């Protein structure tokens, strides 16, 4: 009699699970974990992870969407947080400015802004080098 290894019995379950739809809330949680404590380059075309993350956060935080619509897309986005608050820094290289943002824990969709803060020469050089290396030919 032929015996099927147990590891092969799991394969149909994995294939089936791979076909199930992933909801936006699952993707948002995965994005947030990946973005935690990261500096992300923001480019619209072709879209970077930083751009995708910014768009997701703008959907969740209308104050952030209004801020970005006024000031334009930042060149870089840094994100961190804990269970109660998210913290973001938006870097605008052309103006050599950065803005700090944090969610307001009493309102789940509100964001507080501080700045602009000057970007140091060293920060500018480092971020600009990353931006130039990421340029699409």
Q: What average pLDDT does the segment 71-81 reach? A: 94
Q: What is the pLDDT of residue 36?
A: 53
Average pLDDT, the chain: 79
Distance CA 126, CA 75 (A): 12
Q: What average pLDDT does the segment 34-48 reach? A: 81
- Burial (CB count <10 Å: 0-12, 13-18, 19+), residue 114: exposed
118 phi and psi, to 5 degrees?
-70, 140
Higher pLDDT, 51 or 4: 51
Distance CA 60, CA 65 (A): 9
Distance CA 41, CA 131 (A): 7
Q: What average pLDDT does the segment 25-49 reach? A: 69
Higher pLDDT, 119 or 1: 119
Q: What average pLDDT does the segment 89-114 reach? A: 91
DSSP annotation of 84 reads: S
In 3D space, the residue among 33, 32, 40, 41 whose CA is nearest the CA of residue 61 turns out to be 32
Q: What is the pLDDT of residue 16?
A: 41
Q: What is the pLDDT of residue 7?
A: 45
Q: What average pLDDT does the segment 33-45 reach? A: 76
Domain boundaries, given as residue ranges, for the chain:
23-133
Coil, strand or helix: which one is 126? helix
Distance CA 113, CA 64 (A): 9
């Amino acid at each position: 009699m032929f015996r099927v290894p147990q590891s092969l019995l799991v394969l149909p379950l994995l294939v089936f699970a791979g076909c199930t739809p992933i909801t936006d809330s699952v993707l948002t949680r995965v994005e947030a974990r990946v973005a935690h404590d990261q500096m992300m380059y923001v480019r619209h075309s072709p879209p970077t992870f930083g751009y995708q993350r910014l768009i997701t956060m703008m959907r969740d935080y209308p104050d952030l969407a209004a801020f970005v619509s006024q000031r334009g897309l930042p060149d870089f986005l840094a994100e961190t947080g804990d269970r109660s608050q998210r913290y973001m820094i938006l870097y605008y290289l052309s103006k050599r400015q950065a803005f700090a943002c944090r969610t307001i824990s009493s309102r789940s969709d509100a964001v507080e802004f501080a700045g602009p803060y000057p970007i140091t020469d060293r920060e500018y050089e480092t971020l600009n080098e990353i931006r130039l290396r990421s340029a699409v030919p």
